[in-house]
Structure 1
Amino acid sequence: MSGIVTAVSSNEKYSFTKPNRDSITLLTGLGVEGDVHAGTTVKHRSRMAQDPTRPNLRQVHLIHEELFTEVGEAGYEVGPGELGENVTTRGIDLLGLPTGTLLHLGPDAVLEVTGLRNPCLQINAFQDGLLREVVGRDADGGIVRKAGIMTVVREGGVVRPGDEIKAELPTGPHRPLKQV
């Protein structure tokens, strides 16, 4: 299973969107160098309010570019970095990966998939009604979160648009993604 990086984004301050960059540097055990969400403990404000000592399982956020096409069909215009992701991908089924999958980005970086992004109401502040497009229900009534996946950095490196992504599935029984 493979895909490509189509955009990389980071922001040194809290903001819903993240500006696109020519490259980002991933730091082992921390996240994106210079990004407000980098660190060993939680950096998302709502999670810090609950328990600032919890481990940061949301160091790097990835979204599949195909989501932008999907929400576009419902009348929303969304581009790379606008939903707060650090890495925008194409051609890889991020939401179908099991927990613990290793994603090799470019020549050096390795991310470990920790779970699904839990979309929040800020998405509606960005574009009214967009939240219902990125959170839906399956045929059995279960919640489906489509706003990307969260990862931690296992091996650092520079990541650029155009870099290949290779997925290395975990051994043993696969655990489906849950919100983190």
Structure 2
Amino acid sequence: MELLSVNVGVPRLNPWKGLAATGIDKRPVEGPVAVTAPGPKGDGRVGLAGDRAYDVKHHGGADQAVYAYAREDLDRWEGVLGRPLAGGVFGENLTTRGVDVNGALIGERWRIGADVVLEVAVPRVPCGTFQGWLAREGWIREFTVAAEPGAYLRVVAEGEVRAGDPVEIVHRPGHEVTVALAFRALTREPELLARLSPAQALPEEARELVRRRTGAGRAGRPG
């Protein structure tokens, strides 16, 4: 398991949401990139140096510090879309190889390189910017139905990452809530929400949704 590329956003106009800019145009960078915990959502900070979020209401912050997508899933989408897909084109910061990103458990932790540890937090949910960027009518629905969303990760241990770094799973929680399952429950299949209850590493917003829809009692984050 390894990083194929580390991708940082190039600001560009965002006509699809009526915002001044978007950072969805992620491009591979050479050399090490610093990874730090960005703090709460609201100011555009993300986990990789040189990158940022512009739709600060919906993106950035601790629970969306880093976005990872698997090269294997990009390869499948190449066949569907009929065009090559470079690392970073889905807006991911980390393009991985050999990592089952959608099969990762919520709360699973990855060590990347010597120092960085990231925790799987929540699946990516597609938006109008993503559809506009790919210039494909119906893309939001198509991506959602496929249920291969990739994962947002929070930063547990800071450091530097670079292309070629090994990825090691250093912790797997004792439940069966995968990124793909969480995505299905939070989007098209709300009847699955009750199955997310064991995943206490989900962001508070998602856990509150589970509580409201299932009547589950409040539970704190594990230590």
- The answer, yes or no, to whether TM exceeds 0.5 is yes
- The answer to whether residue 52 in structure 2 is matched with residue 36 in structure 1 is yes
- After TM superposition, give the deviation of residue 83 of structure 1 in Å: 1.4
Indicate which of 43, 49, 56 corresponds to 1:45: 56
Partner of 1:16: 24
Partner of 2:158: 156
- The answer to whether residue 133 in structure 2 is matched with residue 134 in structure 1 is no
Higher strand content, 1 or 2: 1
CA distance in structure 2 between the aligned counterparts of 1:56 and 1:176, rounded to whole angstroms: 20
Indicate which of 51, 57, 75 corresponds to 2:63: 57
CA distance in structure 1 between the aligned counterparts of 2:177 and 2:140, rounded to whole angstroms: 26
Higher helix content, 1 or 2: 2
| Count of residue pairs brought into register by the alignment | 161
Contact 1:114–1:152 (Cα < 8 Å) also in 2: yes
SS at 1:57's partner residue?
helix
Amino acid in structure 1 at the alignment position of 2:128: L
Contact 2:63–2:121 (Cα < 8 Å) also in 1: yes
Partner of 1:26: 35
Indicate which of 77, 96, 100 corresponds to 1:93: 100
Gaps of 5+ in 2: 12-21, 40-46, 184-205, 207-223
1:76-114 alpha-carbon deviations (Å, 9 max, x no partner): 321111111111001110100111000100111000100
1:33-85 alpha-carbon deviations (Å, 9 max, x no partner): 23214xxxxx643427xxxxx96310000010112210111213211111111
SS at 2:62's partner residue?
coil
Change (3 A) 1:173 1:78: same
1:132-153 alpha-carbon deviations (Å, 9 max, x no partner): 553225xxxxxx2x13100011
- The answer to whether residue 75 in structure 2 is matched with residue 69 in structure 1 is yes
Amino acid in structure 1 at the alignment position of 2:74: F
Greater relative contact order structure (CA < 8 Å, 6+ sep):
1
Gaps of 5+ in 1: 38-42, 49-53, 138-143
Change (3 A) 1:56 1:170: same
